[in-house]
Chains A and B, each alone.
Chain A
Amino acid sequence: MSVPANLKYTKSHEWALLEADGTVTIGITDHAQEALGDIVFLELPDAGRTVKAGEECAVVESVKAASDIYAPIAGEVVAKNDAAIDAPESVNQDAYAAWLFKLKPANAADLNGLLDATAYEKVAAES
């Protein structure tokens, strides 16, 4: 299980990365893709949608089951990853490269409330 140290995490297995341009890139963790199995469909939010922290805003479907994805922090969706929609298996191949969507955060400081890699490793080990 890979848990990069430069990312922030949620208990619901999303990762978040603050980019240089102030946007936040969001995806699911390696642990999450492993648990889901072969991913075959992604439903991602359109640019312009405003989301609250913890709001269901995407769905990742594996052969086995559908899984809701929650916004780690509040903000406005500015992009979704069309390449991942066309090749959902890319999330299995590298869950940190195959991001799902990008947010313009309502308040970038909200990221400080998320888990760091060490804390997430404990969450993943217990789930």
Chain B
Amino acid sequence: MIQKTPLYDTHVAAGAKIVDFAGWQMPINYGSQIEEHHCVRTDAGMFDVSHMLAIDLVGAESQTFLRRLLANDVAKLTVPGKALYSCMLQEDGGVIDDLIVYFFTPTQYRIVVNAGTSEKDLAWMRLQAADFAVSLTPRRDLAMIAVQGPQARERFWTAFPVARSYSVTLGVFQAAEWDGWLIARTGYTGEDGFEIAVPADEAATVWQKLIEAGVKPAGLGARDTLRLEAGMNLYGQDMDETQNPLESGLTWTVDFKDASRDFIGKSALAGRQAAGSLKVFLGLLLLDKGILRAHQKVVTAQGNGETTSGSFSPTLNQSIALARLPAGVQPGDEVQVEIRDKLLKAQVVKPVFARNGKSQL
């Protein structure tokens, strides 16, 4: 089934090039993907992310349920509006999805999941929720807009002056409710900004006001190169059900601290950790000329690995990739990547290439 967000007509009217993304008709760019990328790194751009799904969780056992469902520990969330990034795992440790969970009270949360996995996620959550006093409500009545860039917050406040007092004190990964909206200081670009959830019928007006405040529309193309430069994983590409978070650069999101907490996938991950020789998840910087893409073979002194995402970095003007590599490979190592039967030189780096407007290398 082909789905459209509440902003679809707005994108078409703006001359966007529309592509199919996980069954959704989405703008890939509005002209030049590279210009949109630079605009987010240097000023402010916005993305329609209404294809992602917000799910409201309420009920007496909401916290207990999430502490079982998620690999990260929501008990860390104590301030209303505070958000947490987590993986949702299978029993074998494979990643069902990565998501952001917002805490309002111990009986009230919002979970935002990927578009392509939303039906699968909801089915899994409902299955796991059967033994808990909770209810899950998908919110397809909302539109979501990510306003990102060093000037994003200022331009947002120019468009919505009254929202300033509600959102000016928000720390990173913190959200506030305002007049039926959720304003969250989160994103997927490595830049400052807000992700706002608004009623679907207000979306086009909100988008237009942001344009008038100087925010430029940006498509999924720029969103992908921005997140890749920032070293942020893309579900379905950098990890999926066949990969665990420990070998996907997401060890920092798995919380083993509370020994009494038994989250789904915990014993499998503990077993994997005990077995040792975990693959490492690192960045690659192509030294020869060419473009790295996903699923290219990486030849290292420790054996072969594989790129999981790759593209051209507009900030570095060079090709970069994320890669799953054999244990022992370290930043600074020189490796070779097979591209069309040629072996090209690449340098292993920490998987953060550019954030906050500049190179992180």
Contact = CB atoms under 8 A, between A and B. Distances in A.
Contacts of B312: 40-41, 61, 63
A34 to B, nearest CB: 9
Contact of A64 (B33, B289, B314): B33
Specify which of A37, A40, A63, A65 lies most central, judged by the most chain B CB atoms within 10 Å of its CB: A63
Interface in B290-335: 290-291, 293, 311-312, 314, 319
Specify which of A38, A40, A61 lies most central, judged by the most chain B CB atoms within 10 Å of its CB: A38
Interface string A24-38: 000000000000011
A65 to B, nearest CB: 8
A63 B34 contact: yes
B33 A41 contact: no
A66 interface: yes
Interface of B: 17, 28-29, 32-34, 221, 225, 289-291, 293, 311-312, 314, 319, 340
Given A59-B340, A64-B221, A43 B290 contact: yes
A7 B340 CA distance: 31
Contacts of A64: 28, 33, 221
B283 to A, nearest CB: 18
Given A38-B32, A40-B312, A63 B225 contact: yes
Interface residues of A, number: 11
Contacts of B319: 41
17 contacts: A37-B29, A37-B32, A37-B33, A37-B221, A38-B33, A40-B34, A40-B291, A41-B289, A41-B290, A41-B312, A59-B340, A61-B312, A63-B221, A63-B225, A63-B312, A64-B28, A66-B293
Interface string A57-91: 00101011110000000000000000000000000
A61 B319 CA distance: 11
A43 B291 CA distance: 10
A64 B21 CA distance: 14
Nearest to A41: B291
Given A37-B221, A41-B312, A66 B34 contact: no
A64 B314 CA distance: 12
Given A37-B17, A63-B225, 13 more contacts: A37-B29, A40-B291, A40-B312, A41-B289, A41-B290, A43-B290, A43-B340, A61-B291, A61-B312, A63-B221, A63-B312, A66-B291, A66-B293
A40 B340 CA distance: 17
Contacts of B225: 63
Contacts of B340: 43, 59
B15 to A, nearest CB: 12
Contacts of A61: 290-291, 312
A28 to B, nearest CB: 17
A65 B293 CA distance: 8
Nearest to B32: A38
Contact of A63 (B289, B290, B311): B311
Nearest to A65: B293
A61 B340 CA distance: 13
Report, nearest first, the 8 A-B pairs whose CB atoms are least far apart: A40-B312, A61-B291, A38-B34, A41-B291, A63-B312, A38-B33, A63-B33, A37-B33
B69 to A, nearest CB: 35
Contacts of A37: 17, 28-29, 32-33, 221
